[in-house]
Amino acid sequence: MFGLEKRDTFLLGVVIVLTLFAPFILNPFPANSAMAQFNAGYPDLMQRFVIFGIFAIGFNILFGLTGYLSFGHAAFLGVGSYSAVWMFKLLSYNVVPALVLAVIMAGLFSALIGFISLRRSGIYFSILTLAFAQMSFNLAYSVLTPITNGETGLQIYTSDPQYLQSASAPAFPNLFGAAMNSSTTLFFGGWTFTFSVGYYFCAAFLILAFYLAIRIFRSPFGMMLRAVKSNQQRMNYTGLNTRPYTLAAFVISGMYAGLAGGLLAAMDPLAGAERMQWTASGEVVLMTILGGAGTLIGPVLGAGFIKYFENIFAKINDNVLHGWFAFMPDGIEDAMVAIIHPFVGKGWHLTLGLLFMLVVIFLPGGLVEGGQRLGRVFRRKDHNAGSVESDAAQQRSEAAE
């Protein structure tokens, strides 16, 4: 179907089902139960799942396939956000021109940076992209204030022209009238399910982004990108020019980042420089690695995983912890709370850092590889798993040896 192999169609189907039914799947607990804090089925969080999923899918096309580790992709996300907000300011709250400009600007910007950075490889490439991103961040923060509104961040004021905004259209980013922040809520027994326009809009893009990624992975172009990672010398002596291949991968991933940035702005029409900081670039690297670089589904999993736990962990405070361990004797309860305390709430980044180290050390293939190892333990032979997924994971572990 759609020009895909059977297992890829299956993978795409899984992603479609998961995204479409996410409001149900992510809200398994009744709204007023003690477990409701683990629900993630509210629009704001679900939007971040899919938007960062798109960002990570794009990043994976560069890093997972070619092995070029960019530490500057947040810059393209930021460019996408700024472009989208400017379209809201100048034209109207319609998201279509905003996203189009976001993708185009991010594409142009990444072509420029990629053209320069890709003249080097290895750590030099990583440092170059890092320098560019940090430079962009500094520029956005100070020098380019007329465009970026500096520290305050770019937002929409009533004084903005909005030349094409009609009086009847919603005063919020919308798709031909359907506002991104509008939603319907379904009450079912004790459960509450929220269906938001914004979420489904983003979800449609995630599915599209995922489909495109599959096509790229399975194309001769994708194979060439993997060849770049494997052996550039052989590439050159096989009559292939690696530079345009890596540049194309860089620009494609930059455009994905721009789309993600545009969507962020469409969900909440403001853009700030901190979106471009290199820690933000580090986050997308984390997502990709955690999920499994070079695999199709990995980045989506990684993005979901990190965004989910970031949100849930942040909500766990000492009261919640005491609630959990209430069944224990007081002394042990306090000890347990004291042990876990540094890792939750504001300590989420500590958990994230540890998790990240553990993954890089023990599971270079990420969650996908972890899942496969588990699968191999439970089933003696694994007929089902997408062989490319396992291939990529296997390659990682082989490269590690």
The residues in 93-132 that bind another protein, with binding defined as CB under 8 A, are 116, 119-124, 126-128, 130-132
CA–CA separation, 384 and 382 (whole Å):
6
Q: Write the interaction track for another protein spanning residues 195-234; mark x where CB under 8 A is met and - where it is not.
A: --------------------xx-xxxxxxx-xx-xxx-xx
Nearer to another protein, 91 or 252 (CB): 252
Does position 139 bind another protein by CB under 8 A? yes
CB of 40 to another protein, least distance (A): 23
Does position 235 bind another protein by CB under 8 A? yes
Does position 381 bind another protein by CB under 8 A? no
CB of 380 to another protein, least distance (A): 20
Among positions 140-199, residues that touch another protein (CB under 8 A) are 141-144
Does position 9 bind another protein by CB under 8 A? no
Nearer to another protein, 90 or 104 (CB): 104
Does position 266 bind another protein by CB under 8 A? no
Does position 322 bind another protein by CB under 8 A? no
Among positions 270-309, residues that touch another protein (CB under 8 A) are 278-279, 282, 285, 289
Given 25, 188, 328, 349, the residue binding another protein (CB under 8 A):
349
CB of 222 to another protein, least distance (A): 7
CB of 156 to another protein, least distance (A): 25
Nearer to another protein, 346 or 379 (CB): 346
CA–CA separation, 240 and 224 (whole Å):
9
Does position 354 bind another protein by CB under 8 A? yes
Does position 252 bind another protein by CB under 8 A? yes
Given 134, 155, 165, 181, the residue binding another protein (CB under 8 A):
134
Does position 31 bind another protein by CB under 8 A? no
Does position 79 bind another protein by CB under 8 A? no
Does position 331 bind another protein by CB under 8 A? no
CB of 267 to another protein, least distance (A): 27
